[in-house]
Amino acid sequence: MLVLGLTGSIGMGKSTTAKMFAEAGVPVHDADRTVHMLYRGTAVPSIEAAFPGTTGPDGVERKKLGAIVAGDRQAIARLEAIVHPLVREEEQKFLRSAAESNRIVVLDIPLLLETGGAARVDAVVVVTAGAAVQRARVMARPGVTEELFEAMLARQMPDAEKRRAAHFLVDTGHGFDNARAAVAGILRAVAGMRGKAARRALHGSGR
């Protein structure tokens, strides 16, 4: 089985690209969706213990938690130490299940490169767009200010660095029809490849 790691900075169109892979019949594991699920279940007791008063009857209250950890690197590290292993467990369950009947799967991980996750995949797909397109998309979201946008960017690896780390690029800045064609091209390129052989072929390309 070939594992593609899908990533991209905020506003680049990663979630839309993930849907394109799914529409093409490729199973996709969404790390963000998994976190939302954990915040309503398994992660709740540990988060409440580490950050008292941040949970309620429906699970983690994200605004309260966000207010506590925002800008506090130690608090963010404590939260990540709770959540990341649980996300990894769900990811492994997904991979074991998908391996039974699929040749290609996608791990949709926003901070794939920032957290060293590239080592867990066979090839990295980076979703990108021009800086002006990215800014316009993000600033159009409710409640987003310039300060918040800059803070979001500061947490993420610059797009240029992500592009250099990619085996494949999907540029959504020229319309989603072009992006869909790029997804189809990636699937054609990796058809028939398998884990270790794919790594040798793709990493031997110099990227």
Spell out the per-residue pLDDT of the chain, length 207, in tens.
999 999 999 999 999 999 999 999 999 999 999 999 999 999 999 999 999 999 999 999 999 999 999 878 899 999 999 999 999 999 999 999 998 888 899 999 999 999 899 999 999 999 999 999 999 999 999 999 999 899 888 889 999 999 999 999 999 999 989 999 999 999 999 987 765 566 666 665 544
Element (H, E) at 60: strand 59-60
Q: Which residue has the tokens 């979201």?
A: 141
Among 83, 101, 119, the domain boundary falls at 101
Do 53 and 146 lie in one domain? The reply is no
Do 118 and 39 lie in one domain? The reply is no
Do 87 and 138 lie in one domain? The reply is no
In whole angstroms, what is the distance from residue 23 CA to residue 9 CA?
22
In whole angstroms, what is the distance from residue 56 CA to residue 175 CA?
41
pLDDT digits (tens, 9 = 90+) for 91-114: 999 999 998 888 899 999 999 999
Among 46, 80, 101, the domain boundary falls at 101
Do 45 and 115 lie in one domain? The reply is no
Domain limits at 162?
1-27+104-207
